[in-house]
A and B are shown apart, each in its own frame.
Chain A
Amino acid sequence: MIQLVLFGVFNGLIVGAFYALMAIGLSLILNLSGVINFAHGGFLALGGYLAYSLAPTIGFWGALLIAPLITAAIGLLVERLLVRPLYGRDPLYSLLLTFGLAFIFQDGLRTIWGAQSVPFSPPAAMMSPLSAQLFFLTGYRLFMMALVAIAVGGLFYVLGWTRLGLRIRAGTRDLETLSTLGVDVRVLRNLNFGLGIYLAGLAGVLAAGQLGLSPTMGDGLIMPSFVSIIVGGLGSLVGTLLGGLLIGVASGLAAVFFPSAQEAVIYVMMVAVLLARPRGLLGEEGRVH
């Protein structure tokens, strides 16, 4: 029984870590640019496929390092060329753009890499269980958790302790005033977008190692990621992280004990949290987008 609970919790943490990586990237972009990036799942899949193509030449570790960076670079380009012209217009425009981009990503991935899902393997030594009792604990899964923790820790370091980070935080409140202080807010939004996409690319590589690759692999993650943001509270990245882990664990436990409720439980949690706390776990008061 304990083992089953642990199994559910651990699986949930893994899934939750993906939700959180996705959701934190989405939040970053939403908070500074007011854009809901429906193409986020597409960037995630792109990261996974890039790693898949790079791994034969530069190895798994090289791919893990490079693929998210290339994904982020493509993100910078997409923001610069397509998203930037829509700032200051009706949010509907950017919504339509990212919605359309999501489809373009899917079709593009399908054209380049095929519609079939393809396997992508981390080093074999990492894939065997560490002990018979805790059969669900593999080196790779622990490594994945550690890497997600490092990525999120790194992001919080940038936001909390660097000048770029304090400007991003300032910009989420008052971009106009920041701009009068001589800060190029267009560059700021661009870098911030790239940061969010980097996390998506990283999640894509990690997820590919765990679940394999398909052009639609991001689809299953995007709705739970939005739920993570809402559960955690708009505007709070720590909240988003907690929200992601929480609904991940909830769905991991549901998968063990009530398999049929595995997806519904996420939305049940959202409703429960919102009823108890309309602004989410750590959402700031009086902040409505």
Chain B
Amino acid sequence: MTPLSAVGLETFYGKSHVLHGVSIEVREGEIVALLGRNGAGKTTTLRSIMGLTPPREGSVRAFGQLVTGLPPFRVAALGVGYVPEGRKIFGNLTVDENLRAPADRPGPWTLARAYQAFPRLAERKANKGSQLSGGEQEMLAIARALLLNPKVLILDEPSQGLAPLIVEEVFRIVRRVREEGASVLLVEQNVRAAVALADRAYVLDDGKVIYEGAAKDFAADEARVRELAGASAETWDLGD
């Protein structure tokens, strides 16, 4: 069963029309990179899939089930994990409480295993989320999403604002998640690293899919890579 497939998404924020017929698919066991400049509509695509900003037209399926218009917790309950842009950890909760917030779904991830996989979080267990560094917060956001035992994990710019060493760590975790059988949909500004990791890539521009194909074909197209990587490098510091 295809983990995720979105077809013909037309998504609006009020009157402003942001997605124009976006279709993307994540197949079983794949890492898919979703790329594009700032404001291209990457986050909006993810929000449309999760049911946070339901599309006005088009359909979203998770593991074959139609989820368009369903509330986010129902999408999540099917096994769709989500690490939002900007991490969105609960700053008023301790690390431990953050990790106990997700719903229980059967699977390999337990609190004990999460602390094993993220020893830094075990050390900071009793600290408030707001006291963590950016890297620790990202680890917490990922661990929190994994505790839902997702069969497909969506990550929105997990490396944003992080030191290179921590970015490597994030990418290592993404690889591990896939090795354990889950699929991954990864939004990244870090174009070269993302296409090196991914099986397939989509490029969004102005709310439309302008490229879709094997990640290694995209990586080989130096002109395309430089255009996109250059564009995002310029705005790297601006963030959101």
Contact = CB atoms under 8 A, between A and B. Distances in A.
Contacts of B172: none
A183 B97 contact: no
B148 A182 contact: yes
Contact of B103 (A166, A177, A183): A183
A166 B93 CA distance: 7
Contact of A181 (B71, B91, B148): B148
B93 A182 contact: no
Contact of B72 (A163, A167, A172, A179): A179
Contacts of B103: 181-183
Contacts of A182: 73, 76-77, 102-103, 105, 148
B90 A180 contact: no
Interface string A173-191: 1101111111111100000
B105 A173 contact: no
Nearest to B46: A180
Interface in A155-212: 163, 166-167, 169-170, 172-174, 176-186
Given A179-B73, A182-B76, A166 B52 contact: no
Contacts of B50: 180
A166 B101 contact: yes
B82 interface: yes
Contact of B101 (A172, A176, A183, A186): A183
Interface residues of A, number: 19
Given A177-B88, A184-B73, A170 B101 contact: yes
Given A176-B52, A180-B52, A182-B77, 19 more contacts: A166-B93, A169-B90, A169-B92, A177-B84, A177-B88, A178-B101, A180-B50, A180-B73, A180-B75, A180-B82, A180-B84, A181-B73, A181-B102, A181-B144, A182-B73, A182-B76, A182-B103, A182-B148, A183-B73
B152 to A, nearest CB: 13
A102 B71 CA distance: 31
B18 interface: no
Q: How extensive is the interface on chain B, given as a class? A: 20 to 34
21 contacts: A166-B93, A167-B101, A169-B90, A169-B97, A170-B90, A170-B93, A173-B91, A174-B90, A176-B52, A177-B84, A177-B90, A179-B71, A179-B73, A179-B76, A180-B72, A180-B84, A182-B73, A182-B76, A182-B102, A184-B73, A186-B71
Interface in B63-92: 71-73, 75-77, 82, 84, 88, 90-92
Contacts of A169: 90, 92-93, 97
B141 to A, nearest CB: 9
B155 interface: no
A185 B73 contact: yes
A158 to B, nearest CB: 14
Contacts of B84: 177, 180
B73 A173 contact: no
B145 interface: yes
Contacts of B71: 179, 184-186
B138 to A, nearest CB: 14
B74 to A, nearest CB: 8
A180 B155 CA distance: 12
B182 to A, nearest CB: 15
Contact of B97 (A166, A174, A177, A181): A166
B100 A181 contact: no
Contacts of B145: 181
A167 B97 CA distance: 9
Closest 4 CB pairs of A and B: A182-B103, A182-B76, A181-B102, A179-B72
B28 to A, nearest CB: 21
A83 B145 CA distance: 30
Nearest to A176: B52
Contacts of B93: 166, 169-170
A283 to B, nearest CB: 13
Nearest to A182: B103
A173 B148 contact: no
A173 B52 contact: no
Contact of B100 (A166, A179, A180): A166
Contacts of B100: 163, 166
